[in-house]
Amino acid sequence: MNGGAGAASVEFFHGFQVALMMTVMFNLTQFVYWRCAKTRKGTLWQVHAPTVYTLIAAVLTNVQPLGILVTSSWMLCCASCTSFDYPANCTDTGRTFPAWGDGTFRPCNGGGNIFWDESYCHGAKLPIMPTQVKGWIIQVCCTWGGFVFMFFGLMQATQMHRKLISRWRQIRNQH
């Protein structure tokens, strides 16, 4: 967050993760759309329910990576002025985001950001999981929830559940 060792690599991979996730998830949505259009009959919902589930998954699974990219790109991590080795009154609130390259202080009122507490603002700690409640809500509801939607969309689009049941019955009847 504050330009520590490896900051450029971390920033690169935040951007790369967003690009990769968006590419994979929206291409998967296209795959499901065309598969459903070719193999399913009925009303619009009967044909494209898996497409809708997969589209929801594509959006949800990209919320966290995009949020982290925005947060880190604009150095949105609020901490006390002194924690950044700035004068204690660098802003009216005594709290700031890391200064821009020109030394402009940016006042804030929080502690950390939506994902991590202010102990992560200096770049010395590399977070694996969120430490803030909002970050956990995003992780559980958006990321994990998105993968649940993806699972159901793909299972319906490929009829995998029916194929598995059919195969299971074949195996059981052989004995």
Task: Please state, in angstroms and rounded to a whole number, the distance separating the CA atoms of residues 166 and 173.
Answer: 11
Q: What is the pLDDT of residue 19?
A: 96
Question: d(Cα 108, Cα 135) in Å, to the nearest integer?
Answer: 19
Q: What average pLDDT does the segment 107-128 reach?
A: 89
pLDDT at 17: 93
Going by C-alpha positions, the residue among 32, 18, 3 that lies closest to residue 152 is 32
Distance CA 159, CA 12 (A): 38
Count the helices and strands in the chain (H runs, E runs).
Answer: 5, 3
Query: Rounded to whole angstroms, how far apart are CA atoms 50 and 152?
Result: 7
Q: What is the pTM of this model?
A: 0.84
What's the pLDDT tens digit per position in 41-85?
Answer: 999 999 999 999 999 999 999 999 999 999 988 989 999 999 999
Structure token pair of residue 138: 């995003």
Q: Is residue 5 scored above 70 in pLDDT?
A: no
DSSP 126: -
pLDDT tens digit string along 29-40?
Answer: 999 999 999 999
Which residues, including other chains, have CB under 8 Å from residue 1's CB and lie 6 or more apart?
A: 7, 72, 75, 77, 98, 120, 121, 122, 123
CA angle 29, 33, 37 (to 5 degrees): 170
